[in-house]
Each structure stands twice: as C-alpha cells, then as structure tokens.
C-alpha cells in the first residue's frame, strides 16, 4: 500500500512539472510574437499583395514566336518570362531568345506581352525586326503608347482580309509606323493586283481611319506613317 501511494504522488508531481513546462513554452512564444509584431518583423506581419507600390508591374501572358507567322501559333512563355521578370521595374531579362527559349531558331521573332501597370491593362509588342534580338533587357512601358491598332484590312477593294495580328508584329506604336513593303510584311492576298490597306486605329484615344491605295501609292514603300489626325 505504501509503494502504491508513492507511485500516485510521483505521477501527480510529473503532471505538475509537465504543466509548468507547457505554460512556460506558451508564455515565451506569446512574448516573442508580441516582440516581433512591435518591431515590424516580416515573419509576423501580413504578406503584401502582388499589386503594390513597390511592384507595380504584373505579367498576365507572354507569347513568343516567329515574326512572319500567325500570332495564334505563338507559344506561351509566361512562366519563363515570370522567372526573368522584375515587377518593380517592368524589365524582362534578355536576350529573350535565351531567357525564354527559342521557338523558331534562325528566324526573326516577336514577343507579345499582356500585363498591368498599377492595375491598368496594357499590351506591348517587342519585334526583333524593329529592335535588337540580342538586347540584354526589354523594358515594358508604363502607359499606353499614343498609337493603338484596332483593325488592319488588306486586299482588293471588294475583298479585304483581316491582317491585324500580323500587322501588330511590324507596327511601332510609339511612332505610328507600319513596316513595309506591306505585301511582304503582311503577305499578299491578291498577287499581281493593286490592293488597298485600311487601318482602323486610335491616336491618344481618338479613333481614326487611314487608307493606303496601291493604285496611287508606291506599293514598295518601306514605311507607312499613320497620321495623327483624320485626313
């Protein structure tokens, strides 16, 4: 009976000791958390959302492919671009044919970037035909460029084909220039015939329409300049 009593007392003492240890650990953790919170330790502070003043750029989709091809055939390189993108500056590390990968070795390519800057949706086209393919970085603009293509039609006057996607690859939105000769850059829907190019676009938000008629213009023109007002 005496031995049994001793065991009961030992168990009670052990339970008390364990309780005291648990209380001490809990109190230490609470004090440490309070100290971290008051000192602004990131580990105890709320995690900032992706769209912050320090990271104003956010990539949504990055397509990359052969310049002369249809944009619908471009490959999705969003994940590769994210790995080489600085959201604080809007810079994609290059050369892009190395950092993203080369979908068409030996060919001139274009990259189409859909992104936001301070939550405003923007689209940027980087054409290796208009820019250096070996550039060490590509800077995304912080605002919409003044010229924006809406639709590009090309063909004989009675039957025009939509070439908007292909025209975007040869268009400088900061200058409003379309690289030509257009029967080569866009493609020739009606070989041997004079064709008409109809461009629907905006300049600083103002909708405009421009018509280029090969029967009165030089079809070999190297660069077509879109006017900044309706002519």
Tens of pLDDT along 42-82?
A: 333 333 345 566 899 999 999 999 876 566 778 999 999 99
Indicate whether 89 and 125 sit together in one domain: yes
Residue 32 in domain: no
pLDDT tens-place string over residues 98-151: 999 999 999 888 898 999 998 888 888 888 877 788 899 999 988 777 888 889
Residue 131 in domain: yes
Q: What is the pLDDT of residue 57?
A: 95
Indicate whether 63 and 135 sit together in one domain: yes
Indicate whether 113 and 76 sit together in one domain: yes
Say which range, 2-6, 7-11, 181-185, has the weakest mean pLDDT: 2-6
Last residue of a domain, one of 109, 139, 169: 139
How far apart are the C-alpha atoms of 126 and 117, rounded to whole Å?
17
Indicate whether 135 and 152 sit together in one domain: no
Indicate whether 135 and 164 sit together in one domain: no
Indicate whether 82 and 151 sit together in one domain: no
Closest by Cα among 56, 176, 59, 185 to 110 = 185
pTM of the entire predicted model: 0.54
Indicate whether 135 and 151 sit together in one domain: no
Residue 94 in domain: yes
How far apart are the C-alpha atoms of 172 and 174, rounded to whole Å?
6
Residue 192 in domain: yes
Residue 38 in domain: no
Indicate whether 117 and 159 sit together in one domain: no
pLDDT tens-place string over residues 200-231: 998 877 899 999 999 899 989 999 999 988 86
Residue 4 in domain: no
Contact indicator for 174, 131 with CB cutoff of 8 Å: no
First to last CA, the chain: 113
Identify the domain containing residue 201 by its residue range: 147-225
Last residue of a domain, one of 107, 123, 139: 139
Within its chain, how far is the Cα of 106 from the centroid? Answer: 24
| Beta bridge mates, 125 | 112
Indicate whether 85 and 123 sit together in one domain: yes
Residue 195 in domain: yes
Residue 10 in domain: no
Indicate whether 84 and 131 sit together in one domain: yes
């Amino acid at each position: 009976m005496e031995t049994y009593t001793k065991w009961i007392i030992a168990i009670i003492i052990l339970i008390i000791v364990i309780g005291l240890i648990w209380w001490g650990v809990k109190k230490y953790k609470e004090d440490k958390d309070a100290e971290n919170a008051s000192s602004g330790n990131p580990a105890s502070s709320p995690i900032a959302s992706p769209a912050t003043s320090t990271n104003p750029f956010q990539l949504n989709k990055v397509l990359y492919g052969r310049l002369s091809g249809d944009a619908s055939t471009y490959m999705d390189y969003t994940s590769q671009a994210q790995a080489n993108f600085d959201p604080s500056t809007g810079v994609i590390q290059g050369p892009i044919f190395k950092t993203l990968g080369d979908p068409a070795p030996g060919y001139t390519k274009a990259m189409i970037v859909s992104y936001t800057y301070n939550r405003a949706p923007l689209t940027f086209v980087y054409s290796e035909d208009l820019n250096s393919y070996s550039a060490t970085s590509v800077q995304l603009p912080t605002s919409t460029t003044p010229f924006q293509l809406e639709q590009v039609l090309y063909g004989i006057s009675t039957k025009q084909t939509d070439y908007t996607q292909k025209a975007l690859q040869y268009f400088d939105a900061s200058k409003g220039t379309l690289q030509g000769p257009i029967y080569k850059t866009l493609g020739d829907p009606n070989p041997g015939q004079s064709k008409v190019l109809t461009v629907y676009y905006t300049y600083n938000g103002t909708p405009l329409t421009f018509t280029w008629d090969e029967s009165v213009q030089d079809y070999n023109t190297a660069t077509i300049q879109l006017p900044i007002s309706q002519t």
